[in-house]
């Protein structure tokens, strides 16, 4: 029984992959380049490469497919980019300015209310943690009114004082 046909790599592709391997890369990019190098050498199949590099065989195949489809730039780039926020920093700041006046006036702000308005602005549901992270990013902190004064006398002292008057 014959397996899947192995991809063919040209000499130029092999040289380009080898050059990139010699450069300093992140571990994830290095591993993807090693997959390509081992596939280009043609001595091993996907299962052997996966075992050697501690990956799944399907991941090896996906890397080769992606290289064939998009080229070396797809392998060298980061797979996931940062900043998955719904709003930019400036938009977040503008959004929080609407709450500043009521906060400075001493009114109690609840995350539930902020969350509701935030969801209306981004037009989708978000978790409370997104709101807490937003507030933290802009220097807001949790301030709660205390339930009693820290130097308040105990109940017995108060009753004794009332009897003496």
Cα gap 1→145, rounded to integer Å: 75
> Would you report the helix, strand and coil content of the chain in percent, each value rounded to 5?
60, 0, 40
Closest CA to 75 of 12, 35, 29: 29
Q: Report the pLDDT value the prediction gives residue 54, as an integer from 0 to 100.
A: 92
**Burial of 60 from C-beta contacts in 10 A (0-12 / 13-18 / 19+):** buried
Return the top range by mean pLDDT from 9-13, 83-87, 132-136.
132-136
CATH of 11-76, one of 1.10.940, 1.10.10, 1.10.357, 1.10.3470: 1.10.10
CA angle 152, 156, 158 (to 5 degrees): 55
Q: pLDDT tens across 37-84, in order?
A: 888 887 788 899 899 999 999 998 999 888 888 888 888 876 666 656
The first and second tokens of residue 40, run together, are 């280009």
The first and second tokens of residue 100, run together, are 């500043």
How many CB atoms are located within 10 Å of the residue 118 CB? Answer: 20
**Burial of 75 from C-beta contacts in 10 A (0-12 / 13-18 / 19+):** buried
**pLDDT higher than 90, residue 120:** yes
Cα gap 149→154, rounded to integer Å: 11
Q: Report the pLDDT value the prediction gives residue 154, as an integer from 0 to 100.
A: 86
Estimate to the nearest angstrom the gap between the alpha carbon of 154 and the chain centroid. 49
Q: Report the pLDDT value the prediction gives residue 79, as an integer from 0 to 100.
A: 62
Q: What is the DSSP letter of 124?
A: S
Q: Report the pLDDT value the prediction gives residue 21, as an integer from 0 to 100.
A: 83
pTM of the model: 0.48
The first and second tokens of residue 44, run together, are 């091993």
Q: What are the domain boundaries of the chain?
A: 11-76, 89-137
Q: Report the pLDDT value the prediction gives residue 1, as an integer from 0 to 100.
A: 44
Place of tokens 């092999």: 14
């Amino acid at each position: 029984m014959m397996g899947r046909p192995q991809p063919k790599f040209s000499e130029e592709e092999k040289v380009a992959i080898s050059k990139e391997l010699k450069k300093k890369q992140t571990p994830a990019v290095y591993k993807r380049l090693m997959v390509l190098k081992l596939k280009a050498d043609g001595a091993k199949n996907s299962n052997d490469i996966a075992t050697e590099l501690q990956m799944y065989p399907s991941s090896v195949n996906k890397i080769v497919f992606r290289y064939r489809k998009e080229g070396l730039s797809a392998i060298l780039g980061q797979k996931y980019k940062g900043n998955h926020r719904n709003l930019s920093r400036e938009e977040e700041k503008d959004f929080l300015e609407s709450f500043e006046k009521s906060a400075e006036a001493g009114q109690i702000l609840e995350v539930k209310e902020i969350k509701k308005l935030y969801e209306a602005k981004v037009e989708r549901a978000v978790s409370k943690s997104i709101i807490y992270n937003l507030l933290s990013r802009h220097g807001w902190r949790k301030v709660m009114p205390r339930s009693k004064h820290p130097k308040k006398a105990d109940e017995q002292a108060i009753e004794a004082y009332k009897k003496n008057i």
